[in-house]
Amino acid sequence: MGDLSESCFLVCIVLLRTPSTFWKIIQRKTQIGKTVLGLFLFILVSSACYGIVLAGWRSPRLSFYVAIKLPMLLLGTTSMVMVLNWILATILGSALTFKQVMGLTYGAMGIACWLLLSLIPVTLLFTLGVADYEGTNDQLRMTHNCLLLTHIFLIASAGIYGNLQLREGLRQTVVAECSVNQLYLAWIIAFGFVGCQLSWILRPFVGSPFYPVAFLRPDCLERNFYEFVFLEVLPFVLRGGK
Amino acid sequence: MSEALRPPNLPHPPSYSKRPSLPVEIPRAYEGGVLSGLLKAPLWLVGRIDDNDGLFRRGCCLLCWGLLFHALFGAAMGLFGGWETAVMSFIKAPIIALSSLGLCMPSLYVFGCVGGMPLKPSQAFALAGSLLAMIGIILLGLTPVTWLFAVSTHNLGFIVLLNTILWLFAASFGGRFLSLFRHAPSLHHTGGLKWWLVVFLVVSMQMATTLRPLLKMPSEGWREKDKKFFVVHFIECFEEK
């Protein structure tokens, strides 16, 4: 147990301080199983910590729920696209094994989680300095929207930056004949497509003041993210907010 | 076209955009103090941070200078609301700068490392101190400008806009200092620092909103009690007469 936790810790430190060494470990296919296990635990703990702060303004109960749901979202999305990623990598002639694909995708998510972990003090400032849980409906709506915007900015920064590192990882691990850009684009599209829907199902994360605190919304499986965007948000924007 | 009228083939002009940059030599020694080094020979300071040389002492020194300069700028800005406000802003401005930097220290370290800049915590500290001092030096130069406008106008929206622009101008010099690390032998990947600077600017603006007001005295105590998002507060400043 001691050895395992030590190796998990080492993997996370290598990923942070020398990502190129981490990609070399994946390329050489040495101890990928232990590496993925270490990353899995790291993503679980770090995203749970961020989740606690993320929903802190609404209620401690929602904080607890989001501490469970955010790891579910990140690990769930990564795991769901894994087989597709491996198939795409094989079709595009990357010569990556399934274990290597696991190492690469968990590695990119691990980097994003390092960034999220480092942004916890910033998130805390916004949670404590912006969110006043008293006021008129308009003020509460404004507070909720501002917080939502801030969290989208912070999480998107971490996600984009983590995925930029994935491109570097692919460059170091795939064979020369494979187009890194094509493979990278295909993986990002798959990840974004699944991630948006899973985040829709697992909502609320920030917690609207106009809905009761719940682990999942009662209508979580009734519609999908894209239906909402194309049938509600876009027509609303195109009609000028009417 | 006849051969006589055909213009002669001219040699291709040099392509400046693709011209390889000359290797920059980082000076090993500098006669003056650390603050003067930051201003006149920033590459020397970049080299010292890269070399892990006297980081704590230099970082502390630069941090103190940076805070003092922020305080002076704050006082000049606060004169908009009178002497009492100037004293309050003299204290608040360095607190805003220091707490923003403190909150962003973990992300500086992580963004740097993930971007391929294997910083040590002591290097991150010295880098943060240098950044604050660089922003502070520019703010010091801009202090007479902000003082002139603070004592000669009553338009709150204008003063808010002016000070925001001046601060962003100073922060751009901080960004320029960070980009000099591209010449450092081991810490030359600066991509992560550019992303981090955006986070630092957003946090600074929110911190200034949390510790508001800076341009007039609060109704009670030393700050307004209600919580606000910095964009909302910024818009409200323009609506206020």
What rounded mean pLDDT belongs to chain A? 85
| Separation CA A121–CA A39 (nearest Å) | 22
Q: Tell me the per-residue pLDDT of B116-140, one tens digit each, with 9 for 90 and over.
A: 888 899 999 999 999 999 999 999 9
What rounded mean pLDDT belongs to chain B? 86
How is residue A171 written in tokens? 């460059």
* Beta-carbon separation of B103 and A17 below 8 A: no
pLDDT of the residue at A133? 67
pLDDT of the residue at B18? 46
Inter-chain CB pairs, A–B, below 8 Å? 82
Confidence of residue B210 (pLDDT cuts 50, 70, 90): very high
Taking phi first (over 0 means left), then psi (-120 to 50 degrees means alpha), and beta for anything else, what does residue B155 get? beta
Q: What is the mean pLDDT of residues A71-79?
A: 92
In a domain, B8, yes or no: no
pLDDT of the residue at B170? 95
In a domain, B204, yes or no: yes
The residue of chain A nearest to residue B231, with distances taken between CA atoms, is A146
| Separation CA A186–CA A198 (nearest Å) | 18
Which residues, numbered 23 to 52 in chain B, qualify as contacts with chain A under a Cβ-Cβ cut-off of 8 Å? none
In a domain, B149, yes or no: yes
Query: Which chain B residues are closer than 8 Å to A154 by Cβ?
Result: 199
Tell me which of B1-15, B73-87, B153-167 is least confident: B1-15
Confidence of residue A242 (pLDDT cuts 50, 70, 90): low
Query: Which chain B residues are closer than 8 Å to A125 by Cβ?
Result: 103, 203, 206-207, 210
- The DSSP output letter for B225 is -
In a domain, B201, yes or no: yes
Cβ-count burial A35-71 (b if 16+ within 10 Å, e if not): bbbbbbbbbbebbbbbbbbbbbbbeeebbbbbbebbb
Nearest by Cα to A141 from A190, A49, A206: A206
pLDDT of the residue at A14? 87
Contact criterion met (CB below 8 Å) for B149 and B54: no
A142 close to B (CB below 8 A): yes
Query: Which chain B residues are closer than 8 Å to A153 by Cβ?
Result: 202
In a domain, B131, yes or no: yes
Q: Tell me the per-residue pLDDT of B198-207, one tens digit each, with 9 for 90 and over.
A: 999 999 999 9
The residue of chain B nearest to residue A118, with distances taken between CA atoms, is B107
| Separation CA B156–CA B215 (nearest Å) | 8
* Beta-carbon separation of A143 and B195 below 8 A: no
pLDDT of the residue at A145? 79
pLDDT above 70 coverage of chain B, percent: 88
How is residue B238 written in tokens? 């323009």
Single-letter amino acid code for the residue at B63: L
Domain range for B93: 32-239
* Beta-carbon separation of B114 and A114 below 8 A: yes
Query: Which chain B residues are closer than 8 Å to A147 by Cβ?
Result: 229
pLDDT of the residue at B15? 46
In a domain, B9, yes or no: no
pLDDT of the residue at B24? 65
Annotate B152-188 with DSSP letters as a single string.
Answer: T---HHHHHHHHHHHHHHHHHHHHHHHHGGGGSSSS-
A197 membership: H or E segment, kind and range: helix A180-201
Q: Which of A111, A121, A131 sits opposite B103 (nearest CB)?
A: A121
Q: Report in angstroms the alpha-carbon separations of B194 from A108, B66, B107, B188.
A: 20, 20, 12, 13
Q: Which of B106, B195, B227 sits opposite A129 (nearest CB)?
A: B227
Which residues, numbered 162 to 201 in chain A, qualify as contacts with chain B under a Cβ-Cβ cut-off of 8 Å? 162, 165
HSE-up of residue A169 (Cα within 13 Å, Cβ side) = 32
Query: Which chain A residues are closer than 8 Å to B209 by Cβ?
Result: 129
3-state secondary structure string across A49-99: HHHHHHCCCCCHHHHHHHHHHHHHHHHHHHHHCHHHHHHHHHHCCCCCCHH
Confidence of residue B14 (pLDDT cuts 50, 70, 90): very low
Q: Distance (Å) from the C-alpha of residue A178 to the closest C-alpha of chain B?
A: 24
Would the pLDDT of B1 be above 50? no
Which residues, numbered 208 to 227 in chain B, qualify as contacts with chain A under a Cβ-Cβ cut-off of 8 Å? 209-210, 226-227
Q: What is the ipTM of this complex?
A: 0.82
B109 close to A (CB below 8 A): yes
Q: What are phi and psi of A23, to 5 degrees?
A: -65, -30
| SS3 category, B97 | helix
Q: Distance (Å) from the C-alpha of residue B177 to the closest C-alpha of chain A?
A: 22
* Beta-carbon separation of B232 and A131 below 8 A: no
| SS3 category, B71 | helix
**Omega within 30 of 0 (cis) for the link into A19:** no
HSE-up of residue A230 (Cα within 13 Å, Cβ side) = 5
* Beta-carbon separation of A125 and B210 below 8 A: yes
∠ CA A206-A209-A215, nearest 5°, is 55
In a domain, B45, yes or no: yes
Q: Which of B115, B210, B232 sits opposite A142 (nearest CB)?
A: B232
A181: which residues sit within 8 A by CB, 6+ positions away?
none
pLDDT of the residue at B6? 57
pLDDT of the residue at B66? 96
The residue of chain B nearest to residue A133, with distances taken between CA atoms, is B227
Q: Report in angstroms the alpha-carbon separations of B6 from B1, B2, B13, B26.
A: 7, 7, 19, 51
Q: Tell me the per-residue pLDDT of A207-225, one tens digit each, with 9 for 90 and over.
A: 877 888 888 888 878 778 8
Cβ–Cβ contacts within 10 Å for residue A189, how many?
12
In a domain, B126, yes or no: yes
Q: What are phi and psi of A31, to 5 degrees?
A: 55, 45
* Beta-carbon separation of A130 and B228 below 8 A: yes
Q: Distance (Å) from the C-alpha of residue A218 to the closest C-alpha of chain B?
A: 31
Would the pLDDT of B23 be above 70? no
Contact criterion met (CB below 8 Å) for B37 and B45: yes
∠ CA B36-B42-B44, nearest 5°, is 95
* Residue bearing the bigger pLDDT, A140 or A84: A84
∠ CA A48-A131-B158, nearest 5°, is 130
B103 close to A (CB below 8 A): yes
How is residue A136 written in tokens? 């008129």
Contact criterion met (CB below 8 Å) for A185 and A88: no
Single-letter amino acid code for the residue at B34: V
Q: Tell me the per-residue pLDDT of B58-71, one tens digit each, with 9 for 90 and over.
A: 999 999 999 999 99
pLDDT of the residue at A98? 92
Q: What is the mean pLDDT of residues A8-13?
A: 83
Contact criterion met (CB below 8 Å) for A100 and A82: no
**Omega within 30 of 0 (cis) for the link into B14:** no
Query: Which chain B residues are closer than 8 Å to A119 by Cβ?
Result: 106-107, 199
pLDDT of the residue at B34? 86
Tell me which of A2-6, A158-162, B56-60, B218-222 is least confident: A2-6
* Residue bearing the bigger pLDDT, A48 or A162: A48
| SS3 category, A130 | helix
How is residue B206 written in tokens? 């929110």
Cβ–Cβ contacts within 10 Å for residue A81, how many?
22
Q: Which of A23, A124, A161, A167 to mutate to test the interface with B (most CBs of B within 10 A)?
A: A161
Query: Which chain A residues are closer than 8 Å to B106 by Cβ?
Result: 117-121
What's the structural domain count of chain B?
1
